[in-house]
């Protein structure tokens, strides 16, 4: 079950003004051109921007639980942003041990405003699973409300996810709550972690946590090494502790 979501941030690109002295005639010409063509001075902040990502990892872990029976995963996605609005799709191989289900496809969208120093993320996510067995009822929808805030060199956050009809035929309502933090101790390095609790309608509630470090190899490529665990190893091997390494490219 997909019990980490796949984010892009809209950017405003400012044209740099040429430094140094210029003649009066040249200055008048530049000023006139800019006045007639405002787009030369600032890009449209609401123009759609598209980005893509691909990743390979030693496991696909979601909320502390392996989605691939502890096997490697390949994933990819696309994101579109326009101002504070975003939408996207993401897919990965999965293995639930049922012999049929082989891929997860997420479709999501939302709004990311900034309010009183908080960066909010209000969205909805649809989780879809291909080739699932008849009656499995794996597909589900979640509503998301999250907030982050910079505190000194760190970024602190919290999130709540709610599903009216969670993963699997035996589950109904479910809520996941999480607190997370990240800090960059040195150039290109980020250390982050999270603690969350999954509430479900059955008896399979559990707490999960993770901590890891990411290094930006290039402007488009990053490696992440992370430790995941839960407090319910008795639920099965996929709930056990594990270290996961992943490589992600964005473009």
User: What pLDDT is recorded for position 37?
Assistant: 52
For strands 73-82 and 65-66, give the pairing. Answer: unpaired
Flag whether 1 is in a domain: no
**CB distance 209 to 192 below 8 Å:** no
| First-residue to last-residue Cα distance in the chain | 28
Cα 108 to Cα 64: distance, rounded to the nearest angstrom = 21
Residue 22 belongs to a domain: no
The alpha carbon of 9 is separated from its chain's Cα centroid by a whole number of angstroms, namely 11
- The rounded distance, in Å, linking the Cα atoms of 205 and 3 is 11
Count of structural domains within the chain: 1
**Which CATH number is 243's domain given?**
2.40.160.40
Mapping DSSP onto H, E and C, the string for the chain reads: CCCCCCCCCCCCCECCCCCCCCCHHHHHHHHHHHHHCHHHCECCCCCCEEEEEEEEECCCEECCEECCCCCCEEEEEEEEEECCEEEEEEEEECCCCCCCCCEEEEEEEEECCEECCEEEEEEEEEEEEECCCCCCCCCEEEEEEEEEEEECCEEEEEEEEEECCCCCCCCCCEEEEEEEEEECCCCCEEEEEEEEEEEECCCCCEEEEEEEEEEECCCCEEEEEEEEEECCHHHCHHHCCEEEEEEEEEC
Question: Tens digit of pLDDT per residue, the chain (251 long)?
Answer: 444 333 333 332 333 333 443 444 444 444 444 445 544 457 787 899 999 999 999 999 999 999 999 999 999 999 999 999 999 999 999 999 999 999 999 999 999 999 999 999 999 999 999 999 999 999 999 999 999 999 999 999 999 999 999 999 889 999 999 999 999 999 999 999 999 999 999 999 999 999 999 999 999 999 999 999 999 999 999 999 999 999 999 99
At residue 26, the pLDDT reads 44
Residue 184 resides in a domain:
yes
Determine, yes or no, domain membership for 72.
Answer: yes
* Token pair 């035996």: residue: 170
Residue 6 is assigned to a structural domain of this protein: no
Task: Say if 20 falls within a structural domain.
Answer: no
Mark 64-85 as b/e (b = at least 16 C-beta within 10 Å).
Answer: bbbbbebeebebebebebebbb
Q: Is residue 167 part of a domain?
A: yes
**Residue span of the structural domain in which 220 resides:** 49-250
Q: How far apart are CA 73 and CA 137, in angstroms?
A: 23
In a domain, 134, yes or no: yes
pTM of the model: 0.83
- Strands 118-130, 140-151: pairing kind: antiparallel
For 136, phi then psi, to 5°, come to: -70, -35
């Amino acid at each position: 079950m997909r019990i980490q979501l796949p984010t892009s941030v809209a950017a405003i690109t400012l044209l740099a003004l040429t430094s140094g002295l210029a003649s009066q005639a040249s200055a008048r010409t530049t000023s006139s051109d800019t006045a007639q063509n405002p787009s030369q001075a600032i890009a449209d902040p609401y123009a759609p921007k598209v980005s893509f990502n691909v990743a390979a990892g030693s496991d696909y872990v979601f909320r502390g639980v392996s989605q691939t029976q502890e096997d490697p995963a390949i994933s990819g996605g696309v994101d579109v942003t326009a101002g504070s609005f975003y939408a996207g799709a993401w897919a990965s191989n999965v293995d639930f041990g049922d012999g049929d289900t082989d891929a997860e496809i997420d479709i999501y969208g939302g709004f990311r405003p900034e309010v009183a120093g908080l960066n909010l993320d209000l969205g909805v996510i649809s989780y879809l699973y291909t080739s699932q067995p008849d009656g499995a009822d794996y597909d589900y929808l979640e509503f998301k409300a999250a907030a982050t805030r910079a505190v000194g060199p760190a970024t602190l956050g919290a999130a709540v996810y709610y599903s009216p009809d969670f993963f699997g035929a035996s589950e109904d309502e479910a809520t996941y709550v999480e607190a997370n933090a990240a800090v960059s101790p040195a150039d290109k390095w980020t250390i982050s972690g999270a603690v969350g609790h999954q509430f479900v309608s059955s008896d399979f509630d559990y707490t999960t946590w993770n901590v890891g470090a990411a290094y930006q190899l290039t402007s488009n490529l990053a490696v992440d090494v992370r430790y995941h665990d839960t407090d319910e190893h008795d639920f099965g091997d996929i709930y056990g502790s594990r270290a996961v390494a992943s490589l992600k490219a964005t473009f």
